[in-house]
Structure 1
Amino acid sequence: MVWLAVFLAVLGAFFLAIGAQRQGSAVKADTGGLALSSNGFLRLLRNPRWMLGLLFLCLGMVMN
């Protein structure tokens, strides 16, 4: 049972890292930097890369 917990923790950390990277790169590509306005946030909701990052972050949180 311990091996399952360790496996899920490592997999969860992987998903958290990849999700944060995907979202960060989408923000940088859509806004030209790290500044984000309310209009820019609405654009991110339509960005598949940002949504994939959000999905990975949610999966990582569930696994942890």
Structure 2
Amino acid sequence: VVAAAPAAEVPAEVVVLPGDTLWSIADEVAAPDEDVRDVVLRLKEANGLDSVALAVGDRILVPA
């Protein structure tokens, strides 16, 4: 019996809506025991963001 390798996890994508901030998105996707500041940094790195400024319609990748 040969076990298949697990499929690579695909990042989720969030479309920025009016009123959304990187902090609010990070708060929504953070695990219960995860520091939101760490999630904000991870989102910035994954999306090549220099700041936390977002525009409506931006697509933010949320790494698994």
TM-score, reference length from structure 1 = 0.31
Question: Which structure's residues are more often helix, by fraction?
Answer: 1
Provide the TM-score with structure 2 as the length reference.
0.31
